[in-house]
Amino acid sequence: MVCTDNRKGGHAMTTVVIVGAGPTGLTLACGLARQGVAVRVIEKADAFPTGSRGKTLNPRSLEVLADLGLGERLAAAGRTHLPFRKYFAGEFVNETEPFAGIRPSAGVPQPAGLWLPQTRVERLLRERLAEYGVTVELATELVDFTQDGDGVEVRLADGGRIRAAYLVACDGGRSTVRKLLGIPFVGDSAPEPMMVCGDVEVEGLDRGAWHQWFGPEGVFMLCPFEGTRRWQLQATPETDADGRTVPPSLESFRRLAALHTGRSDLVLTNATWLSTWRVNVRVAQRYRTGRAFLAGDCAHVHPTAGGLGMNTGIQDAWNLAWKLGYVVRGLAAPALLDTYQEERLPIAAWTLDVSTAGMAAVTEGISTPGVGVEAGRVGDLTGLSLGYPWSRLAAADPGGPLRAGDRAPDAVCPGPDATPGRLFDHFTGDHFTLLGLGPGARPALTALPDHLRAVALDDPDGSVRRAYGITGDALVLVRPDNHVALAVPAAGRAEVLGYLAALR
C-alpha cells in the first residue's frame, strides 16, 4: 500500500500509522521499527512538549525500555532514589525513601523506579526511533479516517492522505480517533480541578528531596529533576473570593508557596508548563474497531496516585508491538490481535482501581501529620507482578508460583564460554525464546523456526529453575514481550511447536 501526503510529498509504503508522539506512541513505533515494520508517527502539535508531566518510570517500564536499547541512557538521565521530605502546617515532620534498601536481585535487575521527566523519556525514545530511520512528523493532524478490509486511509488537516494497513491511536485522553470510532469512554470526571501544576526554578530549597507540604490548606509539593534547575510544582488550587479556581501562574505559585511553607526565603522563578489537573477515571469500552486500535491515555485515564499513567501506556505499547509486528510479518494470523484487548483491558481496570484508592488515601492524609504521597502506594506499583494468566496465550503452567502469562524473571545465565550473562540478554529482541533446562532438553533445541531463539541452560545451582518454579529438565517458552507462554517437560518439543503453529 502506497501512502501519500500532499503537504510533504510522497512517502514509501506504510504499514502502521501511529497518531500521537508521547511515550506510548514512541514505544510502539520503536517496537515495530525494530521488526522492520514500516511505520509513521504523526503528531498534531507543531513542537515537542517541554513540560515535565509524568516523572517516574516503574521497574517494569525500565525493563521494557532496556529491551529497546535505552537502559543505560535512561539510567544516566534520571535518579533511582529520592527521599520524601514531609511537612505539616509548615513544620518538618519526617523524611522517608520508598525504595531505601531495595537492591537488584537475580530475578529483578531493576527493582526501583527511575525519576525523570516525561520530556526526557520522549526525547530518548525519539532518538532511538531515529536510529531506525523514523522521525516524528510534527504539525500533522488527523481529522478523519476510513477503513475497509484491506487497510485504513487517514485524512490530514492539510488535505494530505495516508494509506496503511493499521492505525493505532496514542493521542491522549481527548483522543480524536476514539471519538471518530464512537467508542464510549466510560467513567466519571470531577467538575473542578484538584491540582495546579507547573515547572519552576526554586532558590533556597535542598534539591536532594521531594518536598511535600500537607496541612489544613491542602497540599503543596516541589520535586527536583536531576541535572537541571527545574522543579515540578503540584498544589491544591488557589481560589478567589468567590471560591473559583485561580488559573496557574508564577504569581499564584508564589502565593501558594508562602501559604503552605510559611517561608519567605523561597524564590520561585521562570514558571513554565502551567497546567491544571482534575480527577478523571475513565476507560474505553473496547480497544479495537477493525484495523484501528487504542493505546495509552486514549484508552484509559485515572488519578495520578502511584505514577501509573505513562507506565501503563508504555506497557500497552509493548504488548501490542510484537503482536502487530508478527501479524504484518506473516508470523501470526490476525486473530492474535484480539489478545491485545483481552490482556490489557483488565490491566486498565486494575490501574483505575489502584490509582483511585491511592488518591483517596493521599487526600485523606492531607490532614494527618507525616502523611505524604507514599500513602498512595496501596498496591504493587512496580508492574512486575502484572501478567496475563487469563489470556488464551497462557498455555501450560510451570506448576509453581509462576504462572503462564506472568512476567518471565531474569536470572544469571553464563554463556557457553562461561562469560557472565543474564536471561534478559537472551530475551532482548522480537523473537520467542525457548529455554532448555538440563541435558534432557537438548534434543528439543534444534531445527527451530527463525523467530524462536533456543537457549541451553545447564543451571547447575538451580537458580533458573527456582526463578521459574520448576524442577527437573524442562522447556520454557517465553513470548517476545517477555511473558511466559508455557512450561513443559523436556520431551515437550511438540507442544512448543504446536503453540507457535496455533498463532498462524
Q: Are strands 230-235 and 288-289 parallel, antiparallel or unpaired?
A: unpaired
Task: Give residue 329's pLDDT band: very low, low, confident or very high (50, 70, 90).
Answer: very high
Average pLDDT over residues 458-475: 90
Q: Compare 357 and 322 and report the one with higher pLDDT.
A: 322
CA-based angle 315:188:256, to the nearest 5? Answer: 85
| Domain of residue 211, residue span | 79-112+191-278
Same structural domain for residues 27 and 49?
Answer: yes
Domain count, the chain: 3
Closest CA to 184 of 175, 193, 194, 195: 175
What is the enclosing helix (H) or strand (E) of 456? strand 452-457
Tell whether 496 is covered by a domain.
yes
For residue 439, the model assigns a pLDDT of 95
Report the candidate in 453, 459, 445 with the shortest Cα–Cα distance to residue 413. 459
Residues 393 and 504 occupy one common structural domain: yes
- Is residue 157 very low, low, confident or very high in pLDDT (cuts 50, 70, 90)? very high
For 272: left if phi > 0, alpha if psi spans -120 to 50, otherwise beta; the answer is beta
Mean pLDDT of the chain: 92
Query: Which region among 300-304, 379-383, 395-399 has the lowest average model confidence (pLDDT)?
Result: 395-399
pTM of the model: 0.95
Q: Which residue has the higher pLDDT, 164 or 5?
A: 164
Based on the domain organization, do 176 and 323 belong to the same domain?
A: yes
Q: Which of 258, 278, 298 finishes a domain?
A: 278
pLDDT bin (cut points 50, 70, 90) of residue 6 is very low
CA distance 82 to 65: 21
Closest CA to 60 of 406, 429, 457: 406
Residue 61: inside a domain: no
Closest CA to 124 of 63, 81, 75: 75
392 lies in the same domain as 367: no
The model's pLDDT over 230-285, given as tens digits with 9 standing for 90+, comes to 999 999 999 998 888 999 999 999 999 999 999 999 999 999 999 998 888 999 99
Whether 47 and 141 map to the same domain: the answer is yes
- 490 and 475 assigned to the same domain: yes
Residue 13 pLDDT: 67
Radius of gyration of the chain (CA): 24
Residue 66 placed within a domain = no
Is the pLDDT at 1 greater than 60? The verdict is no
Residue the block writes with cell 506499583: 381
Yes or no: say if 121 and 64 are a contact pair by the CB < 8 Å rule: no
Residues 246, 394 within the same domain: no
Q: What is the CATH number of the domain that holds 457?
A: 3.40.30.10
pLDDT of amino acid 416: 60
d(CA 379, CA 307): 12
The verdict on 296 and 258 lying in the same domain is no
The domain that holds 174 is classified in CATH as 3.50.50.60
- The candidate with the shortest Cα–Cα distance to 485, out of 295, 317, 322, 288, is 322
Mean pLDDT of 406-413: 92
Task: Clarify whether residues 308 and 357 are in a common domain.
Answer: yes
Q: Which residues of 145-171 are buried (b: 16+ CB within 10 A; e: fewer)?
A: bebeeebbbbebeeebebbbbbbbbbb
74 found inside a domain: no
What does the pLDDT read at residue 397? 65
Whether 65 is covered by a domain: the verdict is no
Confidence of residue 388 (pLDDT cuts 50, 70, 90): very high
How does residue 87 score in pLDDT terms, banded at 50, 70 and 90?
Answer: very high
Average pLDDT over every residue of 471-475: 92
Q: Which of 329, 347, 376 is the last residue of a domain?
A: 376
3-class SS shares of the chain: helix, strand, coil, % to 5 = 30, 25, 45
pLDDT for 2 beyond 80: no
Q: Give the integer Cα–Cα distance in Å for 415 and 364.
A: 52
Q: What's the rounded Cα separation, in Å, for the pair 252 and 235?
A: 10
What is the DSSP secondary-structure string of 179-236?
HHHT--EEEEE-SS-SEEEEEEEEESS-TTSEEEEEETTEEEEEEE-TTSSEEEEEEP
Contact 145, 47 (CB under 8 A): no
Contacts of 143 (CB under 8 A, 6+ apart): 155, 156, 157, 176
Q: What is the CATH number of the domain that holds 245?
A: 3.30.9.10
Shared-domain flag, residues 483 and 413: yes
196-213 burial code (b ≥16 CB/10 A, e <16): bbbbbebeebeeebbbbb
